[in-house]
């Protein structure tokens, strides 16, 4: 069976900022990709109402997923309404079982926004629940067997919610796929006005490139990269060293000095 990887993030454009380069490289390495956003993006507009922007942002996310070559999975919540609940956990676990991923990519457990942290918690618990026959999903998906590894992306601006710096375990160099990553992020065209107005980002495409250079500088100046921290193997893999992302992308993988091993 073809190996697969899934990105589980909160909002449209979160994958593109923090994980798209890694996803594109995994596709080139032969992985089947799955793209799962938990929130609709209905609050992400100044001049459009929630119903209108919800449709716009889904269309943009579907286009971005297509650019990356990933299967798109619809959201389960509106913005700022995502909660850690049995109902949501059953929905996320259903998608994980459908995708049968060896690699799960998700948000940092510590970040500036609650939606990001809840998405991370749901992704971790759903990956844990994948093998449990007595945990029932919505829709119904049979439990799956096999190891998986969970990786946490860097938080926004590389700091936690208390402003403390967060350092990756390792980075994946993404310069060779930067243009495709840029195209995927550009698919979220509705976000220019929103990010300009609410987060003072200016050009969100340039912000992404500046951030990827900053992440790359953890190992070497002048390279574009995405940073990752590996979740504990307990409940997911049999060995502490189980690290399929580093193995699959060995030629793009650089351990971060001082990061966990």
In the chain, DSSP finds a helix count (H) and a strand count (E) of 9, 8
Average pLDDT, the chain: 94
Angle between helices 50-68 and 20-28 (to 10 degrees): 40
Block residue for tokens 């997911």: 236
pLDDT tens, position by position, 144-160: 999 999 999 999 999 99
Residue 106 CA to residue 73 CA, distance in Å, equals 15
Asked whether the predicted pLDDT for residue 56 surpasses 70, the reply is yes
Block residue for tokens 């799962």: 36
Q: Where are the alpha helices (DSSP H) in the chain?
A: 14-18, 20-28, 50-68, 86-99, 114-129, 178-186, 191-199, 204-216, 244-248
Q: Where do the domains of the chain lie, and which CATH numbers do they carry?
A: 4-255 (3.40.50.10320)
Which pLDDT score, from 0 to 100, does residue 198 have?
56
| Beta bridge partner(s), residue 103 | 5, 149
Asked whether the predicted pLDDT for residue 49 surpasses 70, the reply is yes
Asked whether the predicted pLDDT for residue 227 surpasses 80, the reply is yes
Asked whether the predicted pLDDT for residue 99 surpasses 60, the reply is yes
Share of the chain above pLDDT 70, in %: 96
Residue 258 CA to residue 261 CA, distance in Å, equals 9
Q: Going by C-beta distance under 8 Å and a sequence separation of 6 or more, which residues neighbour residue 165?
A: 158, 159
Asked whether the predicted pLDDT for residue 132 surpasses 60, the reply is yes
DSSP annotation of 1 reads: -
- Does residue 1 contact residue 102 with C-beta atoms inside 8 Å? no
Which pLDDT score, from 0 to 100, does residue 44 have?
78
Q: Nearest 5 degrees, angle CA 105-CA 109-CA 113?
A: 105
- Could you tell me which of 123, 58, 112, 62 has the C-alpha nearest to residue 88? 123
pLDDT tens, position by position, 161-216: 999 999 999 999 999 999 999 999 999 988 766 666 555 544 788 889 999 999 99
Which pLDDT score, from 0 to 100, does residue 195 have?
62
Residue 125 CA to residue 235 CA, distance in Å, equals 10
**Residue range 225-241: average pLDDT?**
95
Name the band, by pLDDT with cuts 50, 70 and 90, for residue 247. very high
Asked whether the predicted pLDDT for residue 103 surpasses 90, the reply is yes
Asked whether the predicted pLDDT for residue 45 surpasses 80, the reply is no
Q: What is the pTM of this model?
A: 0.95
Which pLDDT score, from 0 to 100, does residue 111 have?
97
Residue 171 CA to residue 217 CA, distance in Å, equals 10
């Amino acid at each position: 069976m073809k190996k697969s990887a899934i990105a589980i993030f909160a909002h449209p454009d979160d994958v593109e900022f923090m994980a798209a380069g890694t996803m594109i490289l995994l596709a080139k390495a032969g992985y089947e990709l799955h793209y799962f956003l938990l929130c609709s993006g209905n609050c992400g507009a100044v001049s459009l109402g929630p119903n209108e922007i919800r449709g716009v942002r889904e269309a943009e996310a579907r286009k971005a997923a297509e650019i990356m070559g990933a299967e798109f999975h619809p959201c389960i919540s509106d913005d700022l309404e995502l909660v850690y609940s049995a109902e949501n956990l059953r929905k996320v676990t259903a998608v994980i079982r459908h995708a049968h991923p060896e690699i799960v990519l998700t948000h940092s457990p510590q970040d500036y926004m609650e939606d990001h942290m809840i998405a991370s918690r749901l992704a971790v618990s759903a990956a844990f629940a994948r093998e449990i026959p007595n945990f029932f999903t919505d829709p119904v998906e049979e439990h799956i067997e096999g190891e998986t590894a969970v990786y946490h992306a860097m938080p926004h601006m590389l700091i936690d919610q208390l402003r403390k710096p967060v350092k990756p375990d390792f980075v994946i160099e993404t310069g060779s796929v930067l243009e495709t990553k840029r195209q995927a992020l550009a698919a979220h065209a509705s976000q220019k006005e929103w990010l300009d107005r609410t987060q003072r980002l200016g050009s969100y495409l340039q912000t992404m490139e500046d951030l990827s250079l900053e992440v790359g500088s953890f190992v070497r100046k002048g390279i574009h990269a995405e940073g990752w921290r590996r979740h504990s193997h307990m409940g997911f893999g049999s060995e502490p060293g189980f690290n399929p992302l580093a193995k699959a992308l060995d030629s793009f993988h650089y351990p971060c000095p001082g990061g966990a091993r």
